[in-house]
Structure 1
Amino acid sequence: MRLSGKTAVITGGSRGLGRAIAERYLQEGARVVCAARNPYDIKEVLDLAPGRCAYVPVDVTSDESVTALMDEAVERFGGIDILVANAGVSRDGRVDRLPVADWQDMVTTNLTGVFLCTRAAVPHLERSGAGRIVNVSSSMATRVAIGAAGYCATKAAVEMFTKVSAIELAPRGILVNSLAPGILDEGMGRQLTGNDRIWSRYKTRLALGRPGHADEAADAAVFLAGPESCYVNGHVLEVNGGLLWS
């Protein structure tokens, strides 16, 4: 129960990796606010820990919506100790064909969303005395993927934002780190592993010969939010099974 007594806000927390992190945080004793545009089948998560989990709708691209999310989390559970900025989108397209609307969607969700959540959470995390921010990035932040310029660029920006935030917020008792998953069998990764033609090319790049499980990345998110990482700050933790990329 490494997170017992802690309250975590997880954006994009109703499915995929965000949901897996929410479930692991609940298992570790935390109170969890799953925030997302859509609830999907969130009742299954709520039923895991009645009274310790709540769903709150949010649009991470809206300053007002994000501020309301943090206020509701505090009203429900008395404070915020952990922010997991996980909400993100991916839009495929080479740079000469990528629609401007798709580019802007990735920038506002993947990057501006992290900024807005961080800014809104800081006053509450500071009162915690042991505040943690975990920004979810991707192994593609540091690797070239044809047709994924927007996603790669925004995730690279998230990692630099994490490092700057870590320096600025450390005097306020807030640690900021980034979790960078590789290819998982959940969320966006499931689309890749479910396409035999594409997966046949990508699976040879994995040293372990398989995609990662969402639970394996969620375990790393527990570490970054828990007491064992009390001297880890401004770090990008890759969980990719040994991802080989040319």
Structure 2
Amino acid sequence: MSGRVIVITGAFGVLGQAVAKAAAGQGARLALIDFAAAPPPGSPAGDDVLVLPRVDLTDAVQAGAALDAAADRLGGVDALLNIAGGFTWETLQDGSIESWPAMHRLNVLTAANASRAAIPHLKRSAAGRIVNVGSAAALKAGLGMGAYAAAKAGVHSLTQALAEELKADGVTVNAVLPSIIDTPANRADMPKADFAAWVAPDDLAAVILFLAGESARAVTGALVPVTGRV
């Protein structure tokens, strides 16, 4: 990972920060993109880190400007990690129908816009990589998971279609499919759960970075379950 330029969307969140810190620890150069106004305390910083706050990746123009800025400042793009996304739990009967297009925008459109903007840069890399974050819930949706699972299923299909589109260019596209990630928000929502059975952000980050690395050259179009003991 040393010297590789890694672009991370959703970089200010719990998983984004775990990935960013792990990548920085391995010597990567980072572009940290997020819709939020500022990264949290302890976020990677320095000459090899470009912070791009207030970027709305549902807007193709903003996504393009962010990826171009990363390539210009850091000397190219070797990997795009699409971690930006959103979640909602609600039944169809009692929830808002607007949650369905909202989940699509936050999960599928952000990944599609960022990927589209990254493609010209990734094709110039010796080992271009895209890693998306899908969900195990999209394989079998549970109660209240319809809108979210449908959106993540879209991420899975985007991953597979883009892998076919880019395989002749040497750019791999894969996705991780986590179950419940051990975050403060999930602990607050499910205080009686067995947290040890969930997926630790650092463990999920390790799988993401493997897929983003040069040694994963033979893996593309894969949907990789990362489900802990759930």
Q: Which amino acid aligns with 2:225?
A: E
Alignment correspondent of 2:211: 224
Q: Which amino acid aligns with 2:79?
A: I
Contact 2:133 2:175 in 1 (8 A): yes
Contact 1:15 1:40 in 2 (8 A): no
Alignment correspondent of 1:129: 126
Measure, in 2, the Cα distance between the counterparts of 1:115 and 1:193: 30
> Does 2:1 match 1:7?
no
Contact 1:46 1:54 in 2 (8 A): no
Q: Which amino acid aligns with 1:191?
A: A
Measure, in 1, the Cα distance between the counterparts of 2:25 and 2:120: 27
Alignment correspondent of 2:31: 33
State the percentage of identical aligned residues.
32
Q: Which amino acid aligns with 1:29?
A: G
Measure, in 2, the Cα distance between the counterparts of 1:127 and 1:142: 34
Alignment correspondent of 1:21: 19
Q: 1:161: Cα distance to partner?
A: 1.2
TM-score with structure 1 length normalisation? 0.87
Give deviations 1:198-217, integer Å, cap 9, x for gaps.
454x54xx9xx522211010
- Structure 1 unaligned spans of 5+: none
Give deviations 1:182-236, integer Å, cap 9, x for gaps.
21212xxx333324xx454x54xx9xx5222110100101110112211011111
- Partner of 1:21, secondary structure, is helix
How large is the Cα RMSD of the aligned pairs? 1.7
Give deviations 1:150-201, integer Å, cap 9, x for gaps.
1111111111110111111011110000011221212xxx333324xx454x
Moved more, 64-73 or 176-185: 176-185
Alignment correspondent of 1:191: 185
Alignment correspondent of 2:51: 55
Q: Which amino acid aligns with 1:18?
A: G
One of 49, 57, 76 as aligned partner of 1:79: 76
Give deviations 1:38-96, integer Å, cap 9, x for gaps.
1444452234xx11112102111001110010111011101001000110111222112
Alignment correspondent of 1:211: 198
- Structure 2 unaligned spans of 5+: none
Measure, in 2, the Cα distance between the counterparts of 1:28 and 1:213: 19
Matched pairs, number: 229
Measure, in 2, the Cα distance between the counterparts of 1:125 and 1:72: 14
TM-score with structure 2 length normalisation? 0.93
Contact 1:80 1:128 in 2 (8 A): yes
Measure, in 2, the Cα distance between the counterparts of 1:92 and 1:43: 29
Measure, in 1, the Cα distance between the counterparts of 2:218 and 2:154: 23
Measure, in 2, the Cα distance between the counterparts of 1:166 and 1:146: 31
Measure, in 2, the Cα distance between the counterparts of 1:41 and 1:31: 16
Measure, in 2, the Cα distance between the counterparts of 1:235 and 1:93: 29
Measure, in 2, the Cα distance between the counterparts of 1:129 and 1:51: 23
Contact 2:24 2:44 in 1 (8 A): no
Alignment correspondent of 2:164: 167
Q: Which amino acid aligns with 1:163?
A: Q
Measure, in 2, the Cα distance between the counterparts of 1:134 and 1:43: 25
Q: Residues 166, 227 of structure 1: CA spacing in aligned structure 2 closer, same or farther, 3 A cutoff?
A: same
Contact 2:7 2:70 in 1 (8 A): yes
